[in-house]
Amino acid sequence: MANRFASILREQASHWSEQVERYRPSQTNLPSKVSAAQSLRTEKLAEIAHVRGTIEGGTVTDPIAIGILTAAVTELEAEVDALVAEIAKLSSWFEVVNRNIEVWEQGVERLLNLATELEA
């Protein structure tokens, strides 16, 4: 009976080890995705500042051109908002992945230790 329970524990440990291996690429890739989104956000903010400077600096006086530039700023701001949401989502997912991997790794160790104790 103890060997049966030990076998079940080892099966579960194996399953959790597989989960860790499935999630490991996300743990590796997510920081670069966050960094890329942050860089793009910084570029968009610089572009917004440039266009606003053009509008507010009086370089452009034509009302139609000012309207087009203002619409461009609005569009860029929407893109920045979307990037902020994407960064938050990716960062949150990274935390979840890290937490899950940590829990699974600890669980694998505990299950294997318990299985070894049952077999002794």
- Asked if 45 and 80 count as a contact pair (C-beta separation under 8 A), the reply is yes
Per-residue pLDDT, averaged over 1-17, amounts to 92
- Distance between CA atoms of 33 and 26, rounded to whole angstroms? 10
Instruction: Report residue 55 as tokens.
Output: 């509008």
Find the helix or strand (DSSP H, E) in which 10 lies. Answer: helix 2-56
Per-residue pLDDT, averaged over 52-76, amounts to 95
Per-residue pLDDT, 7: 93
Per-residue pLDDT, 34: 97
User: Is the per-residue pLDDT at 10 higher than 90?
Assistant: yes
Residue (of 44, 38, 48, 43) closest to 94 by Cα position:
38
Q: Quote the radius of gyration of the chain (alpha carbons, Å).
A: 26
